[in-house]
């Protein structure tokens, strides 16, 4: 009847690594795969996976790229799991992480992805460049993860229906009311 005494579910801890551009993120994926061959990269959107796959085919022919909706926990055994993008709704991310029995997860993103552009990432890129940061450098901080989660919560308040889409851009156009 009431949920007064139920323990609140713990959220899976997300460690965000953010690059200025998707090209820089893809270079990091290549480096990661070369340094840690047991790494596996998971995508939420078909277009993101296909673009990454085609750009990495020559440099890393046997890279493990999987779609989030098709993944099974058995595929993740003894692998370093990295999500190669955020899903716009944190609730959907958390549901999958919990289903896969993950306790901590890395999510790699780029500031030029549609999700971040909705929140003024162009200004952040300019500021990072002014501070002398290189495109290949990633930023990682608890505050960033909290800001991303806050942005996802803002989006979820304006989503009426979560329609399946092939790209993050299409998702933002079709699902986020008032974007």
CA 131 to chain centre: 25
Long-range contacts of 138-145 (CB under 8 A, 24+ apart): 138/17, 138/18, 138/19, 138/24, 138/28, 138/108, 139/17, 139/18, 140/15, 140/16, 140/17, 140/18, 144/16, 144/18, 145/14, 145/15, 145/16
pLDDT for 135-160, tens place per residue? Answer: 899 999 888 888 888 889 888 888 88
4 inside domain: no
97 inside domain: yes
Range of the domain at 151: 13-175
3 inside domain: no
7 inside domain: no
Residue ranges of the chain whose pLDDT lies below 50: 1
> CATH no. for residue 46?
3.40.50.300
CB atoms within 10 A of CB 171: 23
8 inside domain: no
164 inside domain: yes
87 inside domain: yes
Specify the number of domains making up the chain.
1
Q: What is the pLDDT of residue 177?
A: 65
Q: What is the pLDDT of residue 89?
A: 93
Edge-to-edge strands, sheet with 39-43:
13-19, 104-110, 80-83, 39-43, 65-67
Q: What is the pLDDT of residue 3?
A: 52
Whole-number Å distance between alpha carbons of 165 and 88: 12
6 inside domain: no
Q: What is the pLDDT of residue 66?
A: 94
Whole-number Å distance between alpha carbons of 34 and 175: 37
């Amino acid at each position: 009847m009431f949920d007064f005494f139920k323990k609140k579910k713990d959220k899976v801890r997300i460690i965000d690594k953010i690059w200025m551009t998707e090209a820089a993120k893809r270079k990091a994926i290549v480096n990661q795969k070369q340094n840690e061959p047991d790494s596996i990269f998971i995508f939420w959107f078909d277009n993101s996976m296909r673009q990454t796959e085609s750009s990495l085919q020559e440099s890393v022919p046997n890279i493990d790229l999987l779609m989030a909706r098709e993944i099974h926990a058995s595929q993740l055994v003894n692998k370093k799991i990295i999500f190669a993008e955020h899903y716009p709704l944190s609730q959907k991310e958390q549901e999958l992480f919990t289903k896969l029995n993950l306790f901590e997860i890395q999510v790699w993103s780029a500031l030029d992805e549609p999700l971040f552009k909705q929140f003024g990432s162009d200004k952040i890129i300019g500021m990072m460049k002014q501070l002398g940061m290189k495109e290949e450098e990633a930023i990682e901080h608890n505050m960033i993860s909290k800001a991303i989660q806050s942005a996802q919560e803002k989006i979820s308040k304006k989503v009426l229906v979560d329609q399946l889409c092939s790209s993050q851009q299409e998702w933002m156009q079709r699902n986020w009311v008032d974007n």
